[in-house]
Structure 1
């Protein structure tokens, strides 16, 4: 067990340590990435006994909140003055009645994360990650991304007054970088495949002291923002949780974070069960789904051709297959499922969402409806 410092105890924060999910060693809530001992993923641990004793949980989950920071007691930030927010969270949970009827699903809900400030769920991990960076006194942050993650980090870094560096591979089209650059981030093109770009951010972080906020499991604090989706669903469903939750995955922190949130609700006695978690990938890059289908205990890097319309969930896991393995373990722990869907199924799902529910979803998001069709 790791003993918290007097400063941490005095802060009123219920987060107590970082714990390796592989070897179990615990570390203080400092600027760690992976476990210094074994290289495993680090998870933020909380004093739930103290939290339950000092926080009126029924009142917390009943009161209206303007953003996800109503859940600050479940997040690893010492002072509210350090919070960097753009009003993220509290996104609507839409009942998809027409689509549900066509699929013969009685209660089908869609969590609309486009309502976040930069139109992506990535604002959740980055409001927490950048707030933690501010707490650490960070002057610059770095990320490997050319999509939603880069745009979100650029926006939150601008809000915090932190310099943002974004590494992308040289073949990324210029138009995809316009939003990122609009927030003042410095984009650096490199002659590397996507996984190699991440490796360069690690080197840059070590050399220049930039805080690495790439949204895999590399930074342990960002995942904590993802779990707030679970709290919101619990509230929006009248203090109940669904039987199944289907989530697109590249590496898997969103799925793992949501599972953690639901599991916290169960451990605190607020619900009796947690949903079965379903991780969806594209057939064009599906290392986690392949491991699940083949009943393997570990995920291997994807070696097939990368060809899919769902580009935002493409991740070969060449640099960190252990993170895919962690996601696989959580899926199995929840008694859930992992599967891959084809581009034709994804395009059909996009059409279904648009024509039945008035929702224009990007391909990666539409994979959940394609997966639902497979599971029925």
Structure 2
């Protein structure tokens, strides 16, 4: 039987009650488990729930809108040929739907009817939409400085938007204070969100004929895709479905890259504004766990300058792949890793593209010098 786990102290809690953190407000994972075999996949299910046997519990009725099963396309990009995992093919336009589906399905089973999230971007949109699909109420805290356009998707789903004065950290602090009144279904905190993101690993394994790629390059903010890949491929390795983990690479903007800087042995820096705003997380909760995942997989991290992220965004767009600059940085990282000799020409490399460029129209307008 699995439990909630504090990976830093090994303390555990049972899964029968809603919980988003440890008693000392520490981030949690789940105790380890072996993965599944091809025969365990529910092939008739076109969503992440085809891998339900890999979850520690099965909800009475999953909250699902067909998330997952995203295209994996081979494409020549600067640096060589890579496999692009098109995660924007999701109901709300980003990879966050994987985690929202699993997290909110569990919470609804546990009797939670109202949830709180703090996010001005894809996390808030995903929680709002899946809460609506599951008949749950959602409140989303966003910084007061957030562009009104960024909250329209959440508002349209019926979420209550509360504007919080101050910085992004002030917004997170306000959500922590409010968590005494509304259950905090944070995509950064709740361990079952990672149970959803780990399906990326299972899906890549299935996409590649039940084999692991040599490399996976992911845009990294708080690290949910780093940890999701590490968890999922780790389970598959324990189940003897793969021989080794793929090397996981975290792509972060030089303007705000605390995980990458730590992985590269560089001193910390104050955060600055970046066009890769979806990964601009100055104080990632699971920094030690992310570093462990990168080290155990024998991967690492890449820091990208603003010009490199912009160039990758436009290069992808001009090949027909229109994604957020936030995730285009993974393509930029691929080129740098190839140039550095860390990815061989004959090796299989997956570049994870996490969100649609339709959410970044103002950024593209800036890059193109177009007035809106």
TM-score by length of 1: 0.85
Counterpart among 196, 202, 211 of residue 170 in structure 2: 196
Query: Is structure 2 residue 322 aligned with structure 1 residue 360?
Result: yes
Counterpart among 95, 109, 113 of residue 139 in structure 1: 113
Deviation track 1:287-336 (CA, whole Å, cap 9, x = no partner) reads 1111122268xxx6x524x221111110110xxx5512221121111111
Counterpart among 83, 96, 100 of residue 109 in structure 1: 83
| Structure 1 residue 41 displacement after superposition | 2.8
Query: Is structure 2 residue 311 aligned with structure 1 residue 348?
Result: yes
Deviation track 1:242-265 (CA, whole Å, cap 9, x = no partner) reads 111000111101110111101111
Query: Is structure 2 residue 25 aligned with structure 1 residue 25?
Result: no
Question: Is the 1:265–1:271 contact (alpha carbons within 8 Å) kept by the matching residues of 2?
Answer: yes
* Structure 1 Cα separation of the partners of residues 294 and 230 of structure 2: 9
| Structure 1 residue 104 displacement after superposition | 3.2
- Equivalent in the alignment of 1:70: 50
Query: Is structure 2 residue 120 aligned with structure 1 residue 120?
Result: no
Counting only pairs closer than 5 Å after superposition, residues 287-366 of structure 1 correspond to structure 2 as 287-294=258-265, 302-304=269-271, 306-317=272-283, 321-356=284-319, 358-366=320-328
Q: Structure with the greater relative contact order (CA < 8 A, sep ≥ 6): 1 or 2?
A: 2
Query: Is structure 2 residue 259 aligned with structure 1 residue 272?
Result: no
Question: Is the 1:133–1:211 contact (alpha carbons within 8 Å) kept by the matching residues of 2?
Answer: no
Show structure 2 runs of 5+ residues with no match.
339-372
* Structure 1 Cα separation of the partners of residues 91 and 42 of structure 2: 24
Counting only pairs closer than 5 Å after superposition, residues 56-95 of structure 1 correspond to structure 2 as 57-61=37-41, 63-79=43-59, 81-95=60-74
Counterpart among 208, 214, 221 of residue 186 in structure 2: 214
Query: Is structure 2 residue 221 aligned with structure 1 residue 250?
Result: yes
CA gap of 1:47–1:169, structure 2 versus 1, over 3 A, is closer
| Structure 1 residue 174 displacement after superposition | 1.1
* Structure 2 Cα separation of the partners of residues 83 and 361 of structure 1: 28
Counting only pairs closer than 5 Å after superposition, residues 141-160 of structure 1 correspond to structure 2 as 141-160=115-134
State how many pairs are aligned: 337
| Greater mean deviation of Cα atoms: 321-330 or 146-155 | 321-330
TM-score by length of 2: 0.86
| Greater mean deviation of Cα atoms: 120-129 or 192-201 | 192-201
Q: Going by fraction, where is helix more abundant, 1 or 2?
A: 1
CA RMSD of aligned residues (A): 1.8
- Equivalent in the alignment of 2:141: 167
| Structure 1 residue 230 displacement after superposition | 0.6
| Greater mean deviation of Cα atoms: 70-79 or 142-151 | 70-79
**What secondary structure sits across from 2:5 in the alignment?**
strand
* Structure 1 Cα separation of the partners of residues 116 and 300 of structure 2: 33
* Structure 1 Cα separation of the partners of residues 80 and 58 of structure 2: 47
Question: Is the 1:21–1:40 contact (alpha carbons within 8 Å) kept by the matching residues of 2?
Answer: no
Question: Is the 2:40–2:53 contact (alpha carbons within 8 Å) kept by the matching residues of 1?
Answer: no
- Equivalent in the alignment of 2:331: 369
- Equivalent in the alignment of 2:200: 229
Question: Is the 1:181–1:187 contact (alpha carbons within 8 Å) kept by the matching residues of 2?
Answer: yes
**What secondary structure sits across from 2:107 in the alignment?**
helix
